[in-house]
Chains A and B, each alone.
Chain A
């Protein structure tokens, strides 16, 4: 194995401009090659570092591919039953209001079995931040159809493509939750290219700031890829997110109360 060390680099005045964020553990992840969970983890960890809140964060991990998410952060975490991360996060936040409570869920977890929990946590305006990874399939169990699966999309449980007559239509969670009065910030971002990853990080920081200011419930939905279960190369999967998922799940800030808008502007100016 060949590795470069700083001694090998001729220009010793080089400075490090990018390295693993402190909040991210050095443990290699179990995710498949090209899985965007790794990108989502990293931008979340970078947000913890930038806001200086690592010591205060409690991460609630879901059931799904990201079931071991708490292992990959140098922050406190716990594991919720399938779909119940917002309920557990509610309990933690109410008993420890000074902590920053973040739930991290996939689409099978949040939009299907956990639909009630996320809706009611949002409706109550719990002061938690939810990171919602939407890759349009159940990843861990083998690529079955999820509520977010696109019409016509082939999965292991819809081998001829999702049929609206049989299984209804894809669920747009950001639009749904943005209708609730108690939500403070609901945004949908995408992880399909570098520009959008940078925008996603800004959205995560805004959502965490909203929680730190006690403004209410915040959620960032991230359109993600699942190369393994989609049967594509990682590069093609990111292209598929752009061409197929974004038209069905348009990006943007679906709900942003004035106080949150002020926080986001503050970042832009600073």
Chain B
């Protein structure tokens, strides 16, 4: 399984929670301990066991383009 990760722009996040509902691994959670400048609890990646595959489904549903997705590149791995 491909390995990936995401970066969430917390300042842009409006806390709509759509990314948390579509993540196949259920590893995006709302961070209820902080508020951003807009006053929303931002979404956060909670992935201690490296489950993220970089599928980008969260980024496709995000209405505010907060999510950047990274994935291990197969070509790089072959090169080694």
A194: which B residues are within 8 A, CB to CB? 22, 57, 60-61
Nearest CB of A to B36, in Å: 7
Knowing A14-B70, A19-B68, A38-B63, the reply to whether A234 touches B18 (Cβ < 8 A) is yes
Binds B, one of A26-34, A74-82, A140-148: A26-34
Knowing A1-B36, A34-B14, the reply to whether A28 touches B73 (Cβ < 8 A) is no
For A2, A11, A17, the residue with the greatest tally of chain B CB atoms inside 10 Å of its CB is A17
B9: which A residues are within 8 A, CB to CB? 3
- Look across to chain B and name the residue whose beta carbon is closest to the beta carbon of A39: B63
- Look across to chain A and name the residue whose beta carbon is closest to the beta carbon of B56: A18
Verify B70–A28 contact, CB threshold 8 A: no
B32 at interface, CB cutoff 8 A: no
Number of interface residues of B (CB under 8 A): 39
Which of A17, A18, A33, A38 contacts B40, CB < 8 Å?
A33
A39: which B residues are within 8 A, CB to CB? 61-63
Verify A234–B16 contact, CB threshold 8 A: yes
Which of A15, A28, A29, A34 contacts B18, CB < 8 Å?
A34
B54: which A residues are within 8 A, CB to CB? 14, 17
Number of interface residues of A (CB under 8 A): 38
Q: Please, how many angstroms separate the alpha-carbon atoms of A193 and B69 in the complex? A: 18
Nearest CB of B to A119, in Å: 30
Knowing A4-B7, A14-B4, A28-B12, the reply to whether A234 touches B17 (Cβ < 8 A) is yes
Interface, chain B (partner A; CB < 8 A): 3-5, 7, 9-12, 14-18, 21-22, 34, 36, 40, 44-45, 54, 56-57, 59-65, 67-73, 76-77
Interface, chain A (partner B; CB < 8 A): 1-6, 9, 11, 13-20, 24, 28-29, 31-39, 42, 193-194, 197-198, 227, 233-235, 238
- 9 A-B pairs in the complex with CB atoms less than 8 angstroms apart: A13-B72, A14-B70, A15-B72, A18-B56, A19-B68, A33-B14, A39-B61, A42-B65, A194-B22
